[in-house]
Amino acid sequence: MSTYVKKCPECGSKKIFYNKEKGEVICKECGYVIEESMVDFGQEWREFESEGGGGESKRRTGAPMRHTEYDMGLGTEVGRTADLSKLGKERGKFLRLRKWQYRISTAIERNLKLALAELKRVSSFLKLSGSVEEEAARIYRLAVQRGLVRGRSMESVVAGALYAACRRHEVPRTLDELSEASGIEKKEIGRTYRFITRELEIRIRPSNPADYIPRFASALKLSPESQSKSVEILERAQKAELTSGRGPTGIAAAALYVSALMHGEKRTQREVADVAGVTEVTIRNRYKELLDELKLDKELKKVKKKNS
DNA sequence: AAGACGAAAGTGGTTGA
DNA sequence: TCAACAACTTTCGTCTT
């Protein structure tokens, strides 16, 4: 998978700690800050209406900037109003230029229209929120501006942008889900995702296993109690340094599996594995680590006695 | 019979020389 | 650029419920 940190680049230690409040990833061994808080990609559009008083002066004219509109409501054109008769020799050049510009811009617009249509399709398939969709559109637009689409299919860049947007908004989807929704291979999405985030210098911190819990839990129809228990387990796992370098989905799946057991809502490893997009083996491994390190086996036995 | 468990070999990606 | 490596998967045999 993608960009969760495995080792400290400074001292090579694997003791890596993830501090959500500060948005930092720190090596416990040498204190090296591996990832700073992310670049501010805050929304361009803000609502000033509700503020009493001075709001009026700040308000923009015209429609809000929406990145999902294919040309943001703006457009550039080589002047139409120039007096052609004054141009003399330059006239031909001017017309050619205008034609060229027209061709290029319509080509870009067509591409953007297509891309945004695809983006909306995939995003509604995954039931993503509007703000994630906006973010993805922004990322895609940036990618186009930097010429990063060249040599890649438009669809894969869209998928990569969506994947990145989801993670920035801490509602991560798995590569498998993106792959299913977009019809692009997992590998390809991962590749373009890595490429565009590197080129655009979009910093994305390692995804937090807890972000996956709500979705997985509801897919498994687990009670809210099990769900919050699994989050608690995850917190303890982080403290025990069980999470760094591991696939976040596997850890989330194992935590859910245990907490379901503890609340008498047994799900098979296979069921959990399927919704989390990992194998039973991975769940078993994480599960075993959780029991060993967090002494959960005692709690489990208590529950078992209760039930018998 | 289904699910859980674990060993062994294979895959794709990262890292460090 | 290449080899070592860690995480994860696939496959399969055995044990448990």
- Nearest nt to the CA of A288 via C1' is B5
Tokens (6 digits) for A134? 């906006």
pLDDT tens, position by position, A119-156: 999 999 998 989 999 999 999 998 888 888 888 888 88
- Nearest nt to the CA of A7 via C1' is B15
Q: Which nucleotides of strand C lie within 7 A of protein CB? A: 6-11
pLDDT tier at A86 (50, 70, 90 boundaries)? Answer: low
Tokens (6 digits) for A128? 């993503």
Helix axes A154-168, A130-145, angle to 10 degrees: 130
Instruction: Supply the pTM of this predicted model.
Output: 0.70
Count CA atoms within 13 Å of residue A155 on its CB side.
Answer: 12
Say yes or no to pLDDT of A262 above 80: yes
A287 touches strand B (CB under 7 A): yes
What is the distance between the alpha carbons of residues A32 and A10, in angstroms, rounded to a whole number?
Answer: 7
- Nearest nt to the CA of A14 via C1' is C6
* A40 phi/psi in degrees, rounded to 5: -80, 115
What is the distance between the alpha carbons of residues A166 and A168, in angstroms, rounded to a whole number?
Answer: 5
Positions 182-211 of A with beta carbon below 7 A from strand B are: 187, 190-191, 194
Helix axes A296-307, A280-294, angle to 10 degrees: 100
Q: Which amino acid is at A182?
A: S
Q: Is A19 helix (H, G, I), strand (E, B) or coil?
A: strand
Q: Which residue ranges make up each domain of chain A?
A: 1-41, 107-199, 209-307
C1' of C11 to CA of A280 (Å): 13
A119 against A295, higher pLDDT: A119
Position A66 scores a pLDDT of 52
pLDDT tens, position by position, A103-115: 667 777 788 888 9
Q: Tell me how many degrees the CA angle A221-A120-A2 measures, rounded to the nearest 5.
A: 65
> Which residues, in sequence order, are CB contacts of A87 under 8 Å at separation 6+?
A94
What is the distance between the alpha carbons of residues A281 and A276, in angstroms, rounded to a whole number?
Answer: 13
Architecture of domain A107-199 in CATH?
Orthogonal Bundle (1.10)
Q: Do domains A1-41 and A107-199 have the same CATH topology?
A: no
C1' of C12 to CA of A146 (Å): 50
Domain spanning A209-307, CATH class: mainly alpha
What is the distance between the alpha carbons of residues A193 and A185, in angstroms, rounded to a whole number?
Answer: 12
Say yes or no to pLDDT of A308 above 90: no
Tokens (6 digits) for A196? 């565009």
Q: Is A254 helix (H, G, I), strand (E, B) or coil?
A: helix
Average pLDDT over chain A, rounded to an integer: 74
C1' of C2 to CA of A22 (Å): 39
Position A62 scores a pLDDT of 42
A54 against A90, higher pLDDT: A90
Q: Is A154 helix (H, G, I), strand (E, B) or coil?
A: helix
Domain spanning A1-41, CATH class: mainly beta
- Nearest nt to the CA of A282 via C1' is C8
pLDDT tens, position by position, A188-233: 888 888 888 888 888 777 788 899 999 999 999 999 998 899 999 9
Closest by alpha carbon to A145, among A157, A155, A127? A157
C1' of B6 to CA of A176 (Å): 27
Q: Percent of chain A at pLDDT above 70?
A: 65
What is the distance between the alpha carbons of residues A261 and A62, in angstroms, rounded to a whole number?
Answer: 56
How many helices (H) and strands (E) in chain A?
Answer: 12, 3
